[in-house]
Amino acid sequence: MPRPTELPAWQQLHSHRQTLDAWRADAALAADPSRRERLTVEAGPLTADCAHHRISGDTLQLLAELADQAGVQTRFARMLRGDPVNLTEGRSALHTALRSDTPLVVGGTDLRANIAAGQQAEREFAAAVRSGDWRGASGASIRHVINLGIGGSDLGPALALDALAASADGPIARCVSDLDPRALAAALGDCEPASTLFIVCSKTFGTLETLANAQRARNWLLDGGIPPAQVQRHFVAVTANPQRAREWGVAGEQCFAFGDWVGGRYSLWSAVGLVLQIACGSAVVAALHRGAHAIDTHFADTPIERNLPALMGLLGIWYRNFWGAQAHAVLPYAWPLRRLPDYLQQLEMESLGKRTDLDGHPVTWDTGGVLFGAAGSHAQHAFLQLLHQGTALIPADIIVFDDTAALEPALNANAHAQARVLCTGGQVAAAPAPHGDLPGNQPSTVIRAERLDAESLGALLACYEHKVFTQACVWHINAFDQWGVELGKQVAQSILRGEPG
Amino acid sequence: MPRPTELPAWQQLHSHRQTLDAWRADAALAADPSRRERLTVEAGPLTADCAHHRISGDTLQLLAELADQAGVQTRFARMLRGDPVNLTEGRSALHTALRSDTPLVVGGTDLRANIAAGQQAEREFAAAVRSGDWRGASGASIRHVINLGIGGSDLGPALALDALAASADGPIARCVSDLDPRALAAALGDCEPASTLFIVCSKTFGTLETLANAQRARNWLLDGGIPPAQVQRHFVAVTANPQRAREWGVAGEQCFAFGDWVGGRYSLWSAVGLVLQIACGSAVVAALHRGAHAIDTHFADTPIERNLPALMGLLGIWYRNFWGAQAHAVLPYAWPLRRLPDYLQQLEMESLGKRTDLDGHPVTWDTGGVLFGAAGSHAQHAFLQLLHQGTALIPADIIVFDDTAALEPALNANAHAQARVLCTGGQVAAAPAPHGDLPGNQPSTVIRAERLDAESLGALLACYEHKVFTQACVWHINAFDQWGVELGKQVAQSILRGEPG
């Protein structure tokens, strides 16, 4: 595939961008009553209103051509069938297969059968813990489940446990990631060793932070009276390296494996979701997968102009490469989704923070920016001032749910008010002019679902995954590696050994 | 004061910047053994290593001249004495007076005496709640204190309660901010109405989100059997508008006031800190104030070259206006400080997200950028990839504590490793070249304190406050208003009333 700057649509977008300096979305909305309807896109349980963006009819067409010229959907088809799209590690990226029933054979291996067997084992184990059939060393049933993981082995479970707390009917589940021992100590405050199960979640089973916490957990169990010979009853492992988990001391039948073709930040769909399954049950996990799969199908099959993940990716490119934006805000107007920006921060920044293209050349175009955000009502009182009256262009995703508005109508009223004011601007009457002037023309997407549930959460996460895929295709980079974080780990070890810098 | 672009140093910095395209901090460190010592600055309990920044000797001198030409310390002296530096609201900004014993008379009012009286009342009330002398309606002592506030009435208490959790020896304290009713419901899960005290914390006592939660709290108390005539025993107010708090139903002697000269995001030092005082006692609050006051004195008196808050502000300007940076990362390597980025996000983005200068002209230079971050060990596994191998320049503050390293040495080893690798770059051996290349020359400041305690927390927060003050001075904007957030509130009301958009 060519470099983006060589694609005809990229060059046309540059010329086109020059014509839009004085263009305003609010004027376009006023001039064209069909604009909002035309720019509202449906994808699975999600509906997204893109009318507030700095896009004229020509923009959308050129962006769609850019996606076609970069081969976004062709390359997604290759990803789905297991091609080694993670070129620098020589691996496929098959998180989509974890949420699909479609038969899949890769390199002679029946992956679907393997996945199904693993999922069956996870379901059975989770059900046994939930029912109380699976017990700790002393025969007590499990009341607390603590997931020990970091990065992709933590953010997905932590997000889903919060988002779907209303569905939690099993043991109390918590996630601990930080190397600071106070994090684990706080999580164990009201736990009893006899009724606590730890899930050690690490793709390599070599993650410093996670193994440190696992060792502390073992000490806590031993100090709490669990006999050494039975302490393994309180550990399960979720890993792509079960051999190493067994060496650490997890019983073979308590190791839940996933393939090296699942990237950490794409791993909620794998056995990494085990803690969610124990807390909420298998129907919730199935709904999460169903929602994501609906978006996989949508992304694969829908023309780019109506393809939500593709549009999200293309809009990001539009602002990053043609308007100089370096950051993007995510604002869920639902408290259970307050960790969504943290999750997406890893997904986007680790996937797209790259400066070498797929051909091994340094990029000469900007790639990923900063993703940040917070629950919307908090954001209004913390940092939205800068979006309204600052000098940086920061597009925002505003996420609303009908069922949340039913709990408190002012939540969605505020969400829509922010989207409107970001677009139209206006004057604050009480302020001394011109300090109350808001310029408007700040882009946002309002993403809506009927319910905040497992299905809409799955759909939302898959949308951002494929947004990232779209951007990586156009930017001609590998979204599935993260070599940049390796050097710091090595240097930290050398500092610990007291070697000079 | 002149616009920044008219300051001689600003123009000289532009020329100087052109000479640094190939300049590298790691080369400067290697060439000059005294660089690190020379660029290490002490301020109260804090020590900051600025050697990894893109600053030659000339840079520092020009930045110091910029601060002098913008009158940073002269204007700070005016702020300290109560001049109406918040010009658009005609108010002073006297959060510094809340942590000082210096006599202060403003407009004929003995502010110091007023402040001391208010602080005495807060101490007495907190002590009474802590001792059990102050009781709920049914005579039960208070076991849970819930702070209801949002923005500046939430972020400071929430940060301090987490950061200083090791000092908490009073009732269990929690903060609830979100308009979503599930936030309050979650916080009340294990509370009993008879032993729960609510602090309604709102500068105007008109904040939608906070009053909605206060009303829900009242309903919960009534539903929980507290007689209507006695429900006020479970509410105190912290506000600059006690009249309105009394109208809502808070007893006059349970209203703790602060002046309109305290901005929300500068209000932790006021009665907004009451929940912290109840949880941790007055010695902790006094230490917090002592740490901040040490930095106030440092900022007022220290030459710019050794003045930590001024340098933090100037470095931010250097990257924002001369290198095009739009974001800044904050990485505390201490789990109790994990909310620090949230707190600083409001402080910086709400203060500096402005586009109209003090003379009422549109700025033609960039002002505030995005502040984001997370606990360091989490950040390494989430988004630092983008700082190591992305295309955007993102300076970072890396914050370490000696006492935290004593708990887990690998924490600070990782912190220093990140600072070093960001600076030097290098090659990841396992990666196929050149995908493992890290370019380095990414700036960071390592801020260190011996202990994570109230004093160092107070110092840290005051440093960022005066960093913001420095930037606002140079950018010629008002750091103390936030008009941009008002319009959304009005539009939300009109949407709730069903008015057309």
What pLDDT digit, counting tens, does each position of B154-172 carry?
A: 999 999 999 999 999 999 9
State whether residue B369 sits within 8 Å of chain A by CB: yes
| pLDDT for B392 | 97
Where would I find the H helices in B249-339? 274-280, 282-301, 308-322
For A499, which residue in chain B has the nearest alpha carbon? Answer: B413
How many angstroms separate the CA of residue A256 from the nearest CA in chain B?
22
Residues of A in contact with B378 (CB under 8 A): 150-151, 154, 177-178
| pLDDT for A464 | 98
Q: What is the pLDDT of residues B63-81, one digit of tens each?
A: 999 999 999 999 999 999 9
Residues of A in contact with B386 (CB under 8 A): 349-350, 352-353, 368, 370, 484
Task: Assess if residue A77 is contained within a domain.
Answer: yes
- Classify the complex by whether its ipTM is higher than 0.90, answering yes or no: yes
Which residues of chain B from 303 to 342 reach within 8 Å of chain A, CB to CB?
325-327, 333-336, 338, 342
The verdict on A273 and A360 lying in the same domain is no
Residues of B in contact with A185 (CB under 8 A): none
Asked if the Cβ–Cβ distance from A182 to B335 is below 8 Å, we say yes
How many angstroms separate the CA of residue B302 from the nearest CA in chain A?
31
The verdict on B109 and B44 lying in the same domain is no
Asked if the Cβ–Cβ distance from B353 to A177 is below 8 Å, we say no
Asked if the Cβ–Cβ distance from B326 to A392 is below 8 Å, we say yes
Residue B1 has pLDDT above 90, yes or no: no
Q: What is the CA radius of gyration of chain A?
A: 24
| pLDDT for B416 | 98
Task: Assess if residue B494 is contained within a domain.
Answer: no
Instruction: Compute CA distances A194 → A246, A356, B78, whole Å.
Output: 22, 50, 62
How many angstroms separate the CA of residue A146 from the nearest CA in chain B?
17
Tokens of B498: 């069903």
The verdict on B115 and B240 lying in the same domain is yes
The verdict on B44 and B118 lying in the same domain is no
Asked if the Cβ–Cβ distance from A391 to B481 is below 8 Å, we say no
- Residue (of B66, B122, B27) closest to B316 by Cα position: B66
Q: What is the CA radius of gyration of chain B?
A: 24
The verdict on B77 and B119 lying in the same domain is no
Q: Mutate which of B26, B36, B177, B179 to disrupt the A interface (most A C-beta within 10 Å)?
A: B179
Task: Assess if residue B500 is contained within a domain.
Answer: no
Which residues of chain B from 396 to 455 reach within 8 Å of chain A, CB to CB?
404, 407-411, 413-414, 416-418, 420-421, 426-428, 430-439
Calpha distance B439→B433 (Å, rounded): 13
Q: Which of A229, A250, A280 is the last residue of a domain?
A: A280
pLDDT, mean of each 10-residue run, chain A (501 residues): 93 97 96 96 98 96 98 98 96 97 95 97 98 97 98 98 98 98 98 98 97 98 97 98 98 97 97 98 98 98 98 98 98 98 98 97 98 98 98 98 96 98 96 95 98 98 98 98 95 92 72
For B409, which residue in chain A has the nearest alpha carbon? Answer: A496
Q: Across the A/B interface, how many CB contacts are shorter than 8 Å?
A: 355
For A166, which residue in chain B has the nearest alpha carbon? Answer: B182
State whether residue B152 sits within 8 Å of chain A by CB: yes
Residues of A in contact with B426 (CB under 8 A): 487
Strands (E) located in B142-263 = 144-148, 172-176, 196-201, 235-239, 255-257
Kindly report the CATH number assigned to the domain that includes residue B246. 3.40.50.10490
- For chain A, the first-to-last Cα distance in angstroms comes to 41
Of A354, A382, A494, the CB nearest to B155: A382
Calpha distance A60→A63 (Å, rounded): 5
Asked if the Cβ–Cβ distance from A180 to B366 is below 8 Å, we say no
Task: Assess if residue A296 is contained within a domain.
Answer: yes
Instruction: Compute CA distances A350 → A286, A364, A472, B69, B332, whole Å.
Output: 27, 19, 12, 41, 19
Q: Mutate which of A350, A485, A496 to disrupt the B interface (most B C-beta within 10 Å)?
A: A485
Residue B98 has pLDDT above 80, yes or no: yes
| pLDDT for A277 | 98
| pLDDT for A501 | 72
The verdict on A256 and A308 lying in the same domain is no
Where would I find the H helices in B353-446? 376-380, 384-389, 402-407, 409-424
Asked if the Cβ–Cβ distance from A481 to B435 is below 8 Å, we say yes
Q: Which of A238, A265, A280 is the last residue of a domain?
A: A280
Calpha distance B492→B359 (Å, rounded): 31
**Residue for token pair 């000059």:** B32
Per the omega criterion (within 30 degrees of 0), is the bond before A84 cis? no
Angle at B199 between CA B198 and CA B203, to 5 degrees: 150
Per the omega criterion (within 30 degrees of 0), is the bond before B434 cis? yes
Domain that holds residue B76: 4-93+285-485
Instruction: Compute CA distances A496 → A151, A215, A493, B153, B415, whole Å.
Output: 22, 18, 5, 41, 11
Which residues of chain A from 254 to 273 reach within 8 Å of chain B, CB to CB?
264
Residue B501 has pLDDT above 80, yes or no: no
Asked if the Cβ–Cβ distance from A483 to B417 is below 8 Å, we say no
Torsion, Cα B269 B271 B272 B274, to 10 degrees, reads: 110
**Residue for token pair 């109230």:** B454
For B87, which residue in chain A has the nearest alpha carbon? Answer: A432
How many angstroms separate the CA of residue A161 from the nearest CA in chain B?
13
Asked if the Cβ–Cβ distance from A386 to B368 is below 8 Å, we say yes
Q: What is the pLDDT of residues B311-354, one digit of tens each?
A: 999 999 999 999 999 999 999 999 999 999 999 999 999 999 99
State whether residue B113 sits within 8 Å of chain A by CB: no
Number of domains comprising chain B: 2
The verdict on B106 and B135 lying in the same domain is yes
| pLDDT for A484 | 95
Calpha distance B262→A121 (Å, rounded): 58
| pLDDT for B48 | 98
| pLDDT for A500 | 79
The verdict on B305 and B444 lying in the same domain is yes
Residue among B122, B209, B348, B350 flagged as catalytic = B350
State whether residue A181 sits within 8 Å of chain B by CB: yes
Task: Assess if residue B439 is contained within a domain.
Answer: yes
| pLDDT for B2 | 85
Residue B500 has pLDDT above 90, yes or no: no
The verdict on A129 and A40 lying in the same domain is no
Residues of A in contact with B391 (CB under 8 A): 355, 363, 365-368
State whether residue B481 sits within 8 Å of chain A by CB: yes
Residues of A with a known catalytic role? 350, 381, 489
Task: Assess if residue A500 is contained within a domain.
Answer: no
For B372, which residue in chain A has the nearest alpha carbon? Answer: A372
Q: Mutate which of B150, B435, B495 to disrupt the A interface (most A C-beta within 10 Å)?
A: B435
Asked if the Cβ–Cβ distance from A392 to B370 is below 8 Å, we say yes
Q: Record the pTM.
A: 0.98
Residues of B in contact with A392 (CB under 8 A): 326, 366, 368-370
The verdict on B296 and B380 lying in the same domain is yes
Task: Assess if residue A149 is contained within a domain.
Answer: yes
A448: DSSP letter? E
How many angstroms separate the CA of residue B412 from the nearest CA in chain A?
9
State whether residue A354 sits within 8 Å of chain B by CB: yes
Residue B103 has pLDDT above 80, yes or no: yes
The verdict on A342 and A318 lying in the same domain is yes
Of B178, B380, B413, the CB nearest to A378: B178
Task: Assess if residue B493 is contained within a domain.
Answer: no
Residues of A in contact with B487 (CB under 8 A): 388, 421, 426-428, 436, 438
The verdict on B309 and B336 lying in the same domain is yes
Residue B405 has pLDDT above 90, yes or no: yes
Q: Mutate which of B352, B386, B486, B489 to disrupt the A interface (most A C-beta within 10 Å)?
A: B386
- A97 three-class SS: helix
How many angstroms separate the CA of residue A202 from the nearest CA in chain B?
12
Instruction: Kindly tell me the burial class for residue A84, based on how many C-beta atoms sit within 10 Å of its own C-beta (0-12, 13-18, 19 or more).
Output: middle
Residue B8: count other Cβ atoms within 10 Å of its Cβ. Answer: 12
Q: Which of B280, B313, B330 is the last residue of a domain?
A: B280
Residues of B in contact with A478 (CB under 8 A): 435
